[in-house]
Amino acid sequence: MSKKAGCRVRVVVRLRPVLDEKERCKEPCVRGIDEKHLEIFNWRNDQETIKYNFDAFYSERSSQEDIYQDSVEPLLKHTLNGQNASVFAYGPTFAGKTFTMIGCASDVGIIPRSVNKLLSIINAEQSSTDEWNYTVNFSYLEIYQEKVYDLLEPKNHDLLIREDRERNIFIPGLAEKEITSFEQFQKLFIPASHKRTTASTKLNSRSSRSHAILLLKIVRVQQVAPFKKLTGKLFLIDLAGSEDNRRTGNHGIRLKESGAINVSLFSLGQVVDALNQGLPRIPYRDSKLTRLLQDSLGGTAHACMITNIAPEEKHYSDTYSTLNFAAKSRHIINKPFTRESTEKPKRASKRKSSEESYTLKTPPKIPRRTPDMLLTNTPFVTVRKDSAKPKNSLQPFLSPFLRRQANFAESVVTRLEILEQSILSQMRPPVEERIPEQTEQEDLLRQLEESRQQLKLLQEQNQKLKEQRLSELQNEQNSTSDCLFQKIPLVKKKSAAKLVDKSNSADGSGQPVKTKKALQNVNTQSPDLQFVKIVHTDSQHGKENVTDPGQQKGWAVKLNRELQDKHNSEILHILNTGTVKQLKSLQSIGEKRANLIHGWRETHGTFSKVEDLQRVHGLTKKTVESIVKNNLLSKLMFQ
């Protein structure tokens, strides 16, 4: 059984130089403090700054070589040892992601530097020893409007993303090109890069509107016993920026592109949150991007996130939300493991299907983050044995001996090897029959365990919500809080209908006591309010009824336009500045919606009007209208 190991995602920040001549004389909105710290001015109080601590901070003076040497090259060795590694550039448009990943002809970026380095290590090793044989394949794809496109074979588009039994993410049909030299790589990579879907926006004349992912697969096969086969992957990812559509002047197809990009980036935020909270279910499947990054975030890869930011004040809100996202990504712990199998040379093997027998089939479980780990931000590291072997492994006991006997005639060696194979195959249980069964069983057990944990967690959350709601209701009844928008228990249809019965009403007027009091308040204290109707006449029966305040019918609130605007701007203020708790103080906004709104704000900045709430994933036009209406009514009733 392999021991567990975890390593935190390395999160670094790179600040690009000021590019805009007009901005050069102005004070930048963000500046570095030292090699790990930076600060940005606080928009709530311009006398203050907000400080951040990352694994590394690269100032505007840092070079491509600095960032590559320090944060990327150390990851490459893992891919030669059968592990996965990922480097991805995150940040708003025009902050320098593509420059960092690809660079320019005079100063190349991380992708060319990494490929060049890996190929030169491999070539040097192959010319010094025959022990290992290497194959390097590369694929290049983009995710554009939630569809996967093959940049090496343009006819392949809208490809599916799949997961195999060993939980490896793969894309069936994606082209893989073998490369043995850097020149070969460049010939394929440069034209493919130009194929990336680009479009002009006000912000960036060659803005990449898609997420581009370059995958290098390195297979290393041992030519002598024990014939190990190691498969490592390197993902180099240039993410598209999330733009504020109002600022870029996007409309039509561009607006749709931004929307699709934002779904992916929003899901990325959700995944990061779920990982940080140690939830049993991580919503990787919510977007193509997160599905593909599954290996890089809380998965099995060594990962480095390069957060690109711009110094100009006009990019302040993007920079601020990007830094907040990067800060929370620091808590993610990945669990690297080695993909190792043994591969017999063809000459020694009688059966094709027995060429490969996996010695480590099941990816290790990712350790659950405990609150301690989150608070201290300490990498969680335990030691594990990467090349675990099955208990009954019969790793070669004859072949090494045979290989040493150079004086044997070739025909004798062949016959002895055939004999050895037949002895081995009788002694060893058939690999392909045993392992799938075992893996399947382990998979099912793991799924069952995960479902149980998820169920338990949901039950606990449900209980907490119930208790919280109960105490909120009690508080509302006991005291008048100074909160702007008070939660009011809405009058239910049936009980309200009973209350209109004059004989049953406390003051004989036929109106629910609380509602009437509120109405009196409204009418006497709000001269701007022209008419509030709660009781309406049923035209068929001529009776009075009280209608559910949540419904349109039966209510007619005519407000002074100015007053309505004032209420909307008060709601907007809370939406833009409130904490999750404060958001929950709004009518019709519970824990889930408050989190959605807060998350959206972190990624996209502020709302310009209340109706913008519709842009939050999961909030429909109808929901937003009802949120606005309920808050307005609550405010009027408790004024």
Q: Which residues bind ligand ADP (CB under 6 A)?
A: 16-17, 19, 91, 93-99, 204, 207-208, 241, 308
**Between 288 and 584, CB nearer to Mg ion:** 288
Binding partner of 191, given ligand ADP, Mg ion, none, CB within 5-8 angstroms per partner class: none
Question: Taking a C-beta distance cutoff of 8 angstroms, is the pair 229, 219 a contact?
Answer: yes
> Least distance in Å: CB of 110 to ligand ADP?
12
**∠ Cα 81 84 89 (to 5°):** 135
Contacts of 11 (CB under 8 A, 6+ apart): 54, 55, 304, 305, 307, 326, 327, 329, 330
The interface region with Mg ion, picked from 94-102, 189-197, 312-320, 487-495 by CB under 5 A, is: 94-102
Distance of closest approach, residue 493 Cβ to ligand ADP, in angstroms: 54
For ligand ADP, the closer of residues 107 and 176 by Cβ is 107
78 or 97: CB nearest ligand ADP: 97
Q: Residue 157 CB, nearest distance to ligand ADP (Å)?
A: 23
Residue 98 in the binding site for Mg ion (CB under 5 A): yes
Q: Is residue 208 within the footprint of Mg ion (CB under 5 A)?
A: yes
Nearer to Mg ion, 206 or 621 (CB): 206
From Mg ion, ligand ADP, none, interface partner of 603 (C-beta below 5 to 8 A by class): none
Taking the C-alpha atoms of residue 212 and residue 239, their distance in angstroms, rounded to an integer, is 6
Task: Report the distance separating Cα 589 and Cα 525, nearest Å.
Answer: 27
In the bound complex, what is the minimum distance in angstroms from residue 100's beta carbon to ligand ADP? 7
Whether 64 and 103 have beta carbons less than 8 Å apart is answered as yes
Residue 38's alpha-carbon distances to 6, 99, 100, 322, in angstroms, are 27, 21, 19, 13
**CA of 396: how far to CAs of 202, 348, 424, in Å?**
65, 12, 9
**Which span sits near Mg ion by CB under 5 A: 14-22, 96-104, 224-232, 367-375?**
96-104
Determine whether 420 is exposed, middle or buried from the number of CB atoms within 10 Å of its CB (0-12, 13-18, 19+).
middle
From the list ligand ADP, Mg ion, none, which binds 94 (C-beta under 5 to 8 Å, kind-based)?
ligand ADP
Select 91 or 269, whichever has its Cβ closest to ligand ADP: 91
262 touches Mg ion by CB under 5 A: no
Give the dihedral of Cα atoms 549, 550, 556, 557; nearest 10 deg: 90
Residue whose beta carbon is closest to ligand ADP = 96
Nearer to ligand ADP, 14 or 567 (CB): 14
| Closer by beta carbon to Mg ion, 239 or else 332 | 239
Q: At its nearest, how many Å lie between ligand ADP and the CB of residue 57?
A: 13
Residue 16's binding partner out of Mg ion, ligand ADP, none, with CB under 5 to 8 Å set by partner kind: ligand ADP
The site that binds Mg ion (CB under 5 A) totals a number of residues, namely 3
> Which of the 8 DSSP states describes residue 552?
S
Nearer to ligand ADP, 204 or 399 (CB): 204
* Residue 94 beta carbon to ligand ADP: minimum distance, rounded to whole angstroms: 5
Partner interacting with residue 201 (select from Mg ion, ligand ADP, none; CB below 5-8 Å by kind): none
Q: Which does 19 bind (CB under 5 to 8 A by kind): ligand ADP, Mg ion, none?
A: ligand ADP
Q: List the alpha helices (DSSP H) in 36-154.
A: 64-67, 73-80, 97-101, 110-128
- CA distances 27 to 18, 33, 172, Å, are 10, 15, 50
Query: Using CB distances below 5 to 8 A depending on partner kind, what does residue 95 bind out of ligand ADP, Mg ion, none?
Result: ligand ADP
| Phi (first) and psi of residue 5, to 5 degrees | -140, 150
Spatial distance between the Cα atoms of 631 and 621, rounded to a whole number of angstroms = 16
Q: How far are the Cα atoms of 33, 285, 443, 454 from residue 447, in angstroms, in the given order?
A: 46, 16, 6, 10
CA dihedral 457, 458, 464, 469 (to 10 degrees): 170
Residue 94 vs 266, nearer CB to ligand ADP: 94
Instruction: With contacts defined by CB under 5 A, name the span among 90-98, 154-162, 321-329, 339-347 that binds Mg ion.
Output: 90-98
549's tokens = 């305040």
* Residue reference for tokens 């004389």: 25
Does 307 sit near Mg ion (CB under 5 A)?
no
Angle at 245 between CA 242 and CA 250, to 5 degrees: 115
The answer to whether residues 305 and 329 touch, using CB atoms and an 8 Å cutoff, is: yes
Which is it for the CA torsion 470, 476, 481, 483, positive or negative? positive
Q: Indicate the burial class of 280 (C-beta count within 10 angstroms; 0-12, 13-18, 19 or more).
A: middle
| Closer to Mg ion by Cβ: residue 16 or 220 | 16
Residue 605's binding partner out of Mg ion, ligand ADP, none, with CB under 5 to 8 Å set by partner kind: none
In the complex, the smallest distance separating the C-beta of residue 74 from ligand ADP, rounded to whole angstroms, is 21
For Mg ion, the closer of residues 103 and 367 by Cβ is: 103
Task: Please state, in angstroms and rounded to a whole number, the distance separating the CA atoms of residues 484 and 609.
Answer: 18
Q: What distance in Å separates the CA atoms of residue 383 and residue 337, rounded to the nearest whole number?
A: 11
Which does residue 204 bind out of Mg ion, ligand ADP, none, counting CB within 5 to 8 angstroms by kind? ligand ADP
Does 210 sit near Mg ion (CB under 5 A)? Answer: no
Q: Taking the complex as a whole, how short is the minimal distance between the CB of residue 59 and ligand ADP, in angstroms? A: 10
Q: Tell me the closest approach of the beta carbon of residue 19 to ligand ADP, in angstroms.
A: 5
In the complex, the smallest distance separating the C-beta of residue 142 from Mg ion, rounded to whole angstroms, is 11
Closer to ligand ADP at the Cβ: 93 or 421? 93
- Cα-based distances in Å from 588 to 76, 432, 458, 616, 626: 50, 56, 21, 15, 8
The residue range among 89-97, 542-550, 562-570, 626-634 that interacts with Mg ion, by the rule CB under 5 A, is 89-97
Residue ranges in contact with Mg ion by CB under 5 A: 97-98, 208
